[in-house]
A and B are shown apart, each in its own frame.
Chain A
């Protein structure tokens, strides 16, 4: 795990292993800008929220500057997790230094990004930066809306917005974070579309720009992005006098089951994971000393059901303007979806499952979901894993859901108003509905393209083809194979430790080739007489007093005890080679005031019966 020191609010690092970050003034390398808020709202921003904005911007920008190691995940991802220590000047250190605040920050950010955090909050030098510096293009118009919601420009956020605005008649302030102009354009076009559809007075848009400046971002995973996003939402909500704001995200993505075995922990993004959102609520409530709620109105819907909300609101014509693709760098004028990343695949499945293909033609995607040849590069893997995962989900019974998908467990107690059992039931139902939607798209594709499939006209590397081709036919084992294998092991009894004495060479022999000789042999030899006599007579093996054993070994008590310890250590490999549960009395027993003896459970056998070599089929 790499450790990093981040000194914030300074122009130069104090030590060579520290990085300096600054939002303002000399050495500024973090951009933070919020546009289009009213002068009235600006008057409502307390210093504590300006602190929060700066803290979030520093964490988000540091996250991008500090690498997580290579994709090779050397030593099982030891560098994926970072240890980050932030030193941040704030206007209200007495609040930020509270144990509760720090604990919630560390726990929530830790689960969100898989990193370990520690913070040193100290008082900002007077005068602290003026808050006006972060707000551009102030407007005078009134912007009183019912709610505040986060807006990315993807299907989910747009569907949530139109559901609230069009279907439920609310007015909404949408907060959009962007780090590229392409993403900002998507958000702006959708807002314009809504306004032109007659909802001009129901919606306003506040774009927020947070980026590193003058330094190259090395890490594109951006796991802390949703922390920044939520902090922005809270600030705008509080500026508007609200105590809640919304994240529009479907429940399946919120839980985000890993698509592959190497997607471990936070590598499956936890952007809107219920545990993160509840953690943020607790953090914000503690900071502000009032209850803050983060609403997730789409939590119990699949992406298909979310997409249908756009149609229900009569906004299908704007569907194709939403964008979910994670690769804006390769977008072209006509194709703004790569069709390969998990978001593109998830989106396309949802649109087809919702029966809304007519509102977004397949040619908008660089790779058609079902028909494109994916046999080159890495294109096949994501699509194949996606279908495989939900095929597995669909085949899983409710009883096995948590057993086969244990990643779900951490969300179970994070749904307000529901017991863990109720949450589990609802999550199972949600994932089943999504699995059925995926299946419906595939089977619907077969029906639609049956002739092309029959005539072998589809590319062999198309998703539709690989869902039905079969390279191998597997003969299943006997139905009771597993239970028989387990029963075979369970019938085994505990082992007996066997040894033999090779008198001529003065050695003790064990199965597998281990031997005791020299001083170790002398110890055994001293105890052998009592052992053999008792075994022959069927009596209890008597202990040899410690003084007698010392005399036999011609040494003092201390040396004798050392020798016994050395002998016991020599036997250690027998645990693995013979499977004997060794403790200090397994071979030579020691009883206080009685002395030493060979353990009566041992079995002496002939030298010829010792198997010095255990073949590979044994151990």
Chain B
């Protein structure tokens, strides 16, 4: 978990270099780097107040634990996911999506685009983590799916999923900003000149987010290990909110470091 022990996290490219993919002709990039970093940090700070964000992360902790429990169906119902007890990966994702939709529609006061981004980030992270553990030589049975979901209750598996979740979330936040505010820079003599440039830029942003969120692999592993396995706690939404508060602070620090000159 220790941020301090890591030294410099892996970084294929820092943000200024990524932005230079977009801006040619010697145009200044520092302001843009600051803006992109600031929007990522602001989003993380606001996200912990968004009930959909917290629900998305809490379900990533609780669904695997429920899947591993003897009373699987009862546990799932208690989480508000009755349809997740049926067979396939898609059924599980639909149930997860529906649960988040319900929270989203109930939230009259705090609903923002961050909740929707967390929903998509959670779906991607959960789907990928389950799929990685499904058999590839035969069509997965309901038991295979349940085994794959329950395997995610382990600290290392949760850590990898949390890493994906935060990476996906920050990536969506950055595109939310870049795609909206840089549109005047798309075109000849401006920013991305071509479909290829856009793809390279998008790939670079994805890697930037993936690396900035790497810290979550260590942090999430130790957090779950300490709270659930060592102390035997049933993880609550408040626990997840506290975890998220620390998590976003760590990623905010990481984003700050990555805006340094490359």
Q: Report if B124 contacts A (CB, 8 A).
A: yes
Q: How many Å lie between the Cα of A511 and that of B226 in the bound state?
A: 21
Report if A184 contacts B (CB, 8 A).
no
Interface size on A, residues (CB 8 A): 89
How far does the Cβ of A412 sit from chain B's closest Cβ, in whole Å? 5
A518 interfacial by beta-carbon distance below 8 Å: no
Determine how close the nearest CB of chain A comes to the CB of B60; give it in whole angstroms.
14
* CB-based contact B218/A492 at 8 Å: yes
| In-complex Cβ contact of A402 among B123, B193, B226 (8 A) | B123
Known A-B contacts A260-B180, A264-B113; the reply to A106 vs B192 at CB < 8 A is no
A578 CB contacts on chain B under 8 angstroms: 2-4
Q: Cβ of A404: which chain B residues have Cβ within 8 Å of it? A: 124
* Given known A375-B189, A421-B90, A477-B12, contact A495–B5 (CB-CB < 8 A): yes
In the complex, A511 Cα to B9 Cα: how many Å? 19
What residues of chain B lie closer than 8 Å to A461, measured between beta carbons?
187-188
Q: How far is the CA of A264 from the CA of B119 in the complex (A)?
A: 11
- Given known contacts A421-B90, A485-B211, A618-B7, A261 and B197 CB-to-CB distance under 8 angstroms: no
Whether, in the assembled complex, B54 has its beta carbon less than 8 Å from a beta carbon of chain A, the answer is no
B-contacting residues, A156-190, CB 8 Å: none
Contact A618–B105 (Cβ < 8 Å) = no
From 238 to 262 in chain B, residues with beta carbon under 8 angstroms from any chain A beta carbon are 246, 249-250, 253, 257, 260
B53-109 contacts to A, CB under 8 A, are: 83, 88, 90-91, 93-94, 97-98, 101, 105, 107-109
Cross-chain contact B90 with A420 (CB below 8 angstroms): yes
Cα A614 to Cα B12 with chains together (Å): 23
Task: Give B186-228 interface residues, CB cut-off 8 Å to A.
Answer: 186-189, 192-200, 202-204, 207, 210-211, 214-215, 217-219, 221-223, 225-227
Contact at A486–B217, with CB atoms within 8 Å? Answer: yes
**Which residues of chain A come closer than 8 Å to B202, judged between CB atoms?**
388
A492 to B195 Cα, complex, angstroms:
40
- Min CB–CB distance B127 → chain A (angstroms): 5
B10 A488 Cβ-Cβ under 8 A: yes
B172 within 8 A of A: yes
**What A residues does B211 contact at CB under 8 A?**
485
Beta-carbon contact of A490 and B217 below 8 Å: yes
CB-CB under 8 A for A1 and B111, given A406-B124, A413-B94, A617-B8: yes
A403 at the interface (CB under 8 A from B): yes
Q: How large is the interface on B (under 10, 10 to 19, 20 to 34, 35 or more residues)?
A: 35 or more
Option from A106, A413, A423, A576 in Cβ contact (under 8 Å) with B3 = A576
Smallest CB separation, B90 vs chain A (Å): 4
In the complex, residue of chain B having the shortest beta-carbon distance to the beta carbon of A617: B8
User: A575 is contacted by which of B90, B159, B246 (Cβ under 8 Å)?
Assistant: B246
Q: Bound complex: CA of A551 vs CA of B159, how far in Å? A: 45
Distance, CA A482 to CA B208, complexed state (A): 11
Q: Which chain A residues border B156 with CB–CB below 8 Å?
A: 490
B179 touches A391 (CB 8 A): no
Write out the residue numbers on chain A whose beta carbons fall within 8 Å of the beta carbon of B109: 1
Question: Contacts A1-B111, A375-B187, A492-B6: A409 and B97 contacting too (C-beta < 8 A)?
Answer: yes
Question: Which residues of B line the A interface, CB within 8 A?
Answer: 1-10, 12, 21, 24, 43, 46, 83, 88, 90-91, 93-94, 97-98, 101, 105, 107-114, 116-117, 119-120, 123-124, 127-128, 131, 156, 159-160, 163, 172, 174-180, 183-184, 186-189, 192-200, 202-204, 207, 210-211, 214-215, 217-219, 221-223, 225-227, 231, 246, 249-250, 253, 257, 260
Give chain A's interface residues, CB within 8 Å of chain B. 1, 3, 71, 73, 75-78, 80-81, 83, 106-107, 110-111, 116, 260-262, 264-265, 374-376, 378-381, 384-385, 387-388, 391-392, 399-400, 402-404, 406-407, 409-410, 412-413, 419-421, 423-424, 460-461, 465-472, 474, 477, 481-482, 484-486, 488-490, 492, 494-495, 511-512, 575-581, 583, 611, 614, 616-619
- Taking A409-B93, A484-B10 as given, write out 4 further A-B residue pairs in contact, using a Cβ cutoff of 8 Å, ordered by the A residue number: A261-B177, A410-B97, A467-B195, A619-B250
11 contacts between A and B (CB under 8 A): A380-B186, A381-B186, A384-B198, A402-B127, A460-B188, A477-B12, A489-B214, A575-B246, A616-B260, A617-B7, A618-B7
